[in-house]
Each structure stands twice: as C-alpha cells, then as structure tokens.
Amino acid sequence: MAPATSKPANTKLTGHCAWKMRAGFAALGINLWKGGELLPLFDRSGLARVKQITRSMPTGPWPDDAYDKQIGTLWTDMTVNGLDALATRPLVEGLAMEGSEVERLIGEARVELREGRARHFMRL
C-alpha cells in the first residue's frame, strides 16, 4: 500500500491538494467530513425540525446552469482567497511538508482554480 503522503494516480493538482489537506487534517485528528453527526447534536440541543441537505456546489464557472455558474464563480473566489488559511496547517503540521513545497502546491492549485481547469464539486 502507498504511504499516506503519496499522490494518488491520475489526479489533477487541485484534487491532489485537497487529498493532501484531508490527510493532513486526519493526521491532526480532525475530521471535517462528518456532517451527518450534526443532526443528533442539534436534536440534543433542543432544536426541532432540522433537516440536513447535502448539495454539491461547483468550483468554477463551468456549469451550464446560470445559478450553478454564479455559485461556482463565488465558491472559486472564496476558495482561492482562503486556500492559504485552509491548507497551511494540515500540510505543515499534519504532513510535515516544507514551507516552500506547501507554497508551491497551494500556488499551483490556486492557478488551476482561477483558470477554470479544475472541475470539482464541494459537498456542502
């Protein structure tokens, strides 16, 4: 089995960056992808009639639907602007990557997102 820090075969750079971020968060004991655990928390807190809806939001203006295109453009702006804040800690502290390698990976992912080469969805 490949080590946790190796790049999965045939992935685009942004997918690789996201994969590394998930691995870094996991190494820090943080799981951001447990949205299903929110409903029981809300229930225990006394909130009634809470419904969980999961929607795939596009990153980038590539969808044909006008609404999804607008959401994708806004989501890309937020992702590009916040990528340093989101990725630095899991990559440096979780995966012990060097600062220059982190800057290169984030920079290349940012360019790919801005140029619209990455056709990804964020599940919310």
Q: What is the pLDDT of residues 55-82, one digit of tens each?
A: 788 878 888 889 988 988 888 888 889 9
pLDDT at 35: 61
Is position 107 within any domain? yes
Query: Is 110 among the domain residues?
Result: yes
Q: Within 13 Å of residue 26, how many CA atoms lie on the same side as its CB?
A: 10
- 8 falls within a domain: no
- The answer to the question of residue 98 being in a domain is yes
Q: Which residue has the higher pLDDT, 118 or 82?
A: 82
Range of the domain at 46: 14-22+33-123
Do the domain assignments include residue 1? no
Confidence of residue 33 (pLDDT cuts 50, 70, 90): low
When divided into structural domains, the chain yields a total of 1
Contact by Cβ (8 Å): 87, 21: yes
Q: Which residues contact 78 (CB under 8 A, 6 or more apart)?
A: none
| Residue 5 falls inside a structural domain | no
Q: Residue 57 domain-assigned?
A: yes
What tokens were used for 59? 């990153």
Is 64 inside a domain boundary? yes
Count of residues in the chain: 124
